[in-house]
Amino acid sequence: MIVRQEILNAKTALKDLPAVSPLPSASLVLVFGSRERFNDAKLPATLKARFPAAQIIGCSTAGEISANGVLDDSLQITAIQWEKTVQRVTHTKMTSMQNSYETAADLARQLKSDELKAVLVYSDGLHVNGSELLEGFKSILGNTPIMGGMAGDGFNFSKTVQLFNDNVGEGLVIAVGLYGRHLIAATGVGRGWKPYGPPRKVTKSNKNVVLELDGKPALPLYNMYIGAHSAKGLPGSGLKFPFAIIEEGKRDIEKIRTLLAIDAKENSLTFAGNVDEGETVRFCQATHDRLVEGAGDAAHLVTNHASTNQPGLAVCVSCVGRKGVMAENVADEVRLVQQILGPQTTLTGFYSYGEFSPRPDTNDSVLHNQTMTIGYLSENLLA
């Protein structure tokens, strides 16, 4: 596996790229940047000229991740040349959010194979139900690990775009199947959120809209826990108070859900992912140090399952909510990840509107919010 990376910061443009491509034989190119970067009409042609043999995919972000930390309005171009691994790339355009499950199942059928080892998925961030999307993939692919995330648009939540070769547009879902025994794929998720208050049962919900907790209207209960000052700032202040969905029969966090909207008339809470009736939830809060430690937990999970002493790539997808909480110190979580994974690992990735990864120490892929996820890829040529 050969990885080469080019980074344009906010003050540089496509014309500032070196004249010679760093890896013209690349098989796959991942491109992450601000929505404004994808408005450049010359982007697809420029990338294709630099990487003529590659499938080129990517998406807009709420911030870009590299070994240099966290940047805004940059363009991260990461070229990968597989030595033994086989890839298959497919995509589709969503017709409606309600078709997220069926859309994923159709893509999964195109990728399904006994040799399939991992799938990368990058989707629109606003017109896709991420929970349903993952369920659709799993309905066909079972426990094949899925890693990736939902495109971002800073803190604007207005429009996200995706790149598939010469096509830049909204509503795309892009999936990359990776095949063969030589592929090394490991995942890690880390949070750092601390639950507080008693467990609450979701007694009425409709997919990602929670109407009742313990038989009581959801919004007044939520407001009581976060306090009057924070309640005045909803839904934006809700980034600091996500829900933790608790594993059945345990106290462990299964996944986090970010608040997206409130409806004072219905007394409901809308989250960035499904919260099913019957699930147990707790309110969460965090400090900067806890969130950084959570990112370190994700990196340690990777090193528990794969050696990072050979060249590899870590695609980090973290939540825009974490960026909002940590503000100017958000790069601390990326620095810790790089420190743990070591100098042989190239970092890329982005801040997202939802993260795709298996739950810790499983291959059960789910939509996460407020979570640092890492998809680590390398090759064992002696396998």
What are the pLDDT digits (tens) for 253-285? Answer: 888 998 888 999 999 999 888 899 999 999 888
Which residue in the block uniquely carries the two structure tokens 């965090």? 286
pLDDT score for 328: 92
Q: Are strands 146-150 and 116-123 parallel, antiparallel or unpaired?
A: parallel
Report the percent of the chain where pLDDT is more than 90. 83
| pLDDT tens-place string over residues 309-331 | 999 999 999 999 899 889 999 99
Dihedral of the CA atoms 129, 119, 190, 159 (nearest 10)?
A: -40
Tokens coding 325: 């909480």
pLDDT score for 210: 96
Q: Cα separation of 3 and 20, whole Å?
A: 16
Average of per-residue pLDDT across 42-61: 97
| pLDDT tens-place string over residues 175-193 | 999 999 999 999 999 999 9
Q: Cα separation of 318 and 134, whole Å?
A: 17
Average of per-residue pLDDT across 345-352: 97
Q: Does the structure show a pLDDT above 90 at 381?
A: no
Average of per-residue pLDDT across 280-305: 94
Going across the sheet that includes 146-150, the strands are 86-93, 172-179, 116-123, 146-150, 355-358, 365-368
pLDDT score for 109: 98
Burial classification of residue 86, based on how many CB atoms lie within 10 Å of its CB (0-12 exposed, 13-18 middle, 19 or more buried) = middle
Kindly list the distances between the CA atom of residue 113 and the CA atoms of 149, 173, 308, 357, in Å, as whole numbers in the listed order: 23, 20, 27, 20
Average of per-residue pLDDT across 25-47: 97
Q: Cα separation of 147 and 367, whole Å?
A: 10
The angle at the Cα of 158, spanning 95 to 287, to the nearest 5 degrees, equals 115
- pTM for the model stands at 0.92
Q: What is the mean pLDDT of the chain?
A: 94
Buried b (16+ CB within 10 A) or exposed e, 13-45: ebeebeeebbbeebbbbbbbbbbebbeeeebbe
pLDDT score for 249: 67
Instruction: Average the pLDDT over each of 248-262, 342-356, 358-372 and give the range with the smallest value.
Output: 248-262
The conformational region for residue 157 under phi > 0 = left, psi -120 to 50 = alpha, else beta, is: left
